[in-house]
Amino acid sequence: MSSLQQLGRRLDEVYKLIQTEAHSSEEKFTRYATPQFLNLIDSNTSLELENRIIKGMNGWIDLLEMELKGLFEKIN
């Protein structure tokens, strides 16, 4: 599985989690993730830029997951 496919799956998983548990973060998520992901699938994106975007988005997802887990711990 390519790193782009892995990123897409992670985005799907986080988005589903946001939809069920943290609706207030949904707009923030889509506002950032959508243009970044569209840049990745653009056929004119260089491999170097693609790798930087993937790395940046994975880091952002890591932070988002930590934020969401912290939020859930406070609620429970």
| Element (DSSP H or E) covering residue 72 | helix 47-75
Length of the chain, please? Answer: 76
Alpha-carbon span 31 to 29, nearest angstrom: 6
- pLDDT (tens digit per residue) in 23-75: 778 888 899 899 988 888 887 888 898 899 999 999 999 988 888 877 656 55
- pLDDT (tens digit per residue) in 5-33: 999 999 999 999 888 887 778 888 899 89
